[in-house]
Structure 1
């Protein structure tokens, strides 16, 4: 097919379609014209992709078709099937696909905290500095009182909003790299210092009894958000065979998808921190609840997520029409 001739033959239709898409109010006749031109442009896109896949033309037409489709059909109506697909395919598959980013961050962070604690316990000057920074009252009462001095429902909301703010910061500014590293550094160092202080002063049972029930899921969510941010940064640096715009769009949609899931996970963590962590339940029972929730999350990712991933889900929008048609690229 002579691509130049084909473009010249249909360019006026595409320009007219673009004008209609940009028009705020359409008459009945213009709406019918938009729908007709949209269907024609979708056919043109299919023809070009199959016969003369020029990347620039396909990218232009795919964007135009996606915009026209949204204008012609509007947003998709809400159904519970969409929610079910998201929870059973999109979210777990996205988490599973990014496992080689967040699992190493999680393991490395926990190892760093362990090294910090061991170092502090074997260096009296470090322990003295920590005691000076936090104070004896923090060890005796303030650490434990933090979880019980507020009404549970308000505390859960406060914890949830604070944690999601940090997660959102790591995701939203991930492409700039340094904000992600700062969020991760601040949380790992803070937790390591508190752990060393409490363990070194004979309060290990209080520390683990109050941190583990909610902290396992909460910190995992933080590691995931940091992993998403770093993945966005690396996508910008090395998009691979994709164009940088396309790569960032794909990973950005996945980041939003997982970010929505983190809202629910962090809400669950906040509820545990507000109602389970300060409860009069035995320490073993509280930690067991936290472990059950955390292992449930891992099963969700590595069993359900793996199944969905092998079935073709990636965490991105599954419909090509929803994503916008993709330009062909060299392998």
Structure 2
């Protein structure tokens, strides 16, 4: 038997204006998966956390990925997996992507590194389809590759890695539930041309800001006129959090993925900690339980520990 452990990081998808096409990997939090390649066919899943996720591989994000990996490899072997999720499901910081990406990377390693980078992403996207009902890679790609990813296209898959500035990321996860599938259903199917033009300008500005390390350009490009105005109504305190965080010195930020988590980028650690305090103050006043993280952008993505 061959056995490895992988650390699979949380991610921030969309990056405000880049719906389904931009994402970054977080240094913390991360899930831990212990994966063993067995001679017995089938997928056995054990949970070492409080979330009681399905152990049926057909209903488990990681299980689906492991099954597809074996099928594509033409292998009659199996996997036994112990999962310790530290990224709460439904948090908006890529919990399902961490499971799917971790499974893809672990399976590939144990099967002899038979999949290419793009094939790994495509493999992990099977898990995202189970979780969200649609294949998307804005969490998967940075989770696997680290740093910041631009998904130019899904069909055919075309992923670009973008330079990640040394920025701090502050995340607050108010303990309310926003299901990704529900957050997608409320979105408008048509947008005004003037809104589309403004959004395109923000995406181009954000990507340019990352490439040139222009922090002010990054800050003013973190604006969403299409998705955020609709989704933010699902997140209590969103407008106040954003206003107070900007006043505390954050460059900018917004909804992480489909929410309810909110992220903010800062140039310095002390600013990121002030932003955290501002987030905490809002939810203390509202009486809503929360978790906060002050972290950085992970440059490595899923990490294998043998």
TM-score range normalised by the length of the shorter chain: under 0.3
TM-score by length of 1: 0.23
| More strand per residue | 2
TM-score by length of 2: 0.24
The one of the two structures with greater contact order (alpha-carbon pairs below 8 A, sep at least 6) is 1
| More helix per residue | 1
